[in-house]
Amino acid sequence: MNTAQLAIQHYILAKDGNCPHLLSRAFVPEATLDMVVRTGSISFPPHVEGVAGIGDVLVRRFGQTFENVYTFCVGQPPEEGAGTYQCKWLVGMSDKNSGEVRVGCGVYEWQFSAESGLVEKLTITIEHMKTLPAADLGSVMKWVSGLSYPWCNSEAAVSDAPDIEAMGEVIQYLTV
């Protein structure tokens, strides 16, 4: 497995598993995060500097609110020695307090260090983040927990998706 692929996988495992210590295997210490949020249903600061700050925003605070988190890179992993990599992403999760389900998608844009292969800059664009009732948790978790993790192709992601009207924009985004 190549360095860029491992860095991305460590990031996803850190975020989904609420394990901020894994971020040092994903990011250089001075890494930056930019967030482009195109939906009003979730909020993040637009710019974060340093692996500690990234861990605070994307792991610690995120983990206080959400559980049952499954994040997928939609597409093939980056090539060995990649300087940059872009892919769509899909996430399914639930709110710890309300039990509501969130299903979202967007784009990851990664820039890697030529020396270490770790992430220097990550831009996350959130295109859609749908809030579904807690009653949909079972069908959404059955779907996402059955997908290849953390790399999944778009055909597999959408073929087994539950037939929930509110998820239509997410499914459509992944197929384009």
DSSP per residue, 48-64: EESHHHHHIIIIIIHHH
User: Which pTM does this prediction carry?
Assistant: 0.95
Q: Give the CA distances from residue 92 to residues 31, 62, 74, 104, 118, in Å, rounded to whole numbers and listed in that order.
A: 26, 13, 13, 7, 26
Pick from 14-28, 31-45, 142-156: least confident: 31-45
* Overall domain count for the chain: 1
What is the model's pLDDT at position 1?
64
pLDDT, tens only, 72-103: 999 999 998 899 999 999 999 999 999 999 99
Integer Cα distance of 150 and 16 in angstroms? 10
pLDDT, tens only, 97-127: 999 999 999 999 999 999 999 999 999 999 9
Work out the mean pLDDT of the chain and round it to a whole number: 95
Domain of 28, CATH number, reads 3.10.450.50
The residue behind tokens 């807690």 is 134
Integer Cα distance of 97 and 64 in angstroms? 10
The domain in which residue 18 lies consists of: 3-175
pLDDT (average), residues 47-61:
95
Q: What are 96's two structure tokens?
A: 């710890």
In this structure, are residues 106 and 124 in contact, taking their beta carbons and an 8 Å threshold? yes
* DSSP string for residues in 9-67: HHHHHHHHHT-GGGGGGTEEEEEEEEEEE--SS----SEEESHHHHHIIIIIIHHHHEE
pLDDT (average), residues 31-58:
91
Which amino acid makes up residue 8?
A: I
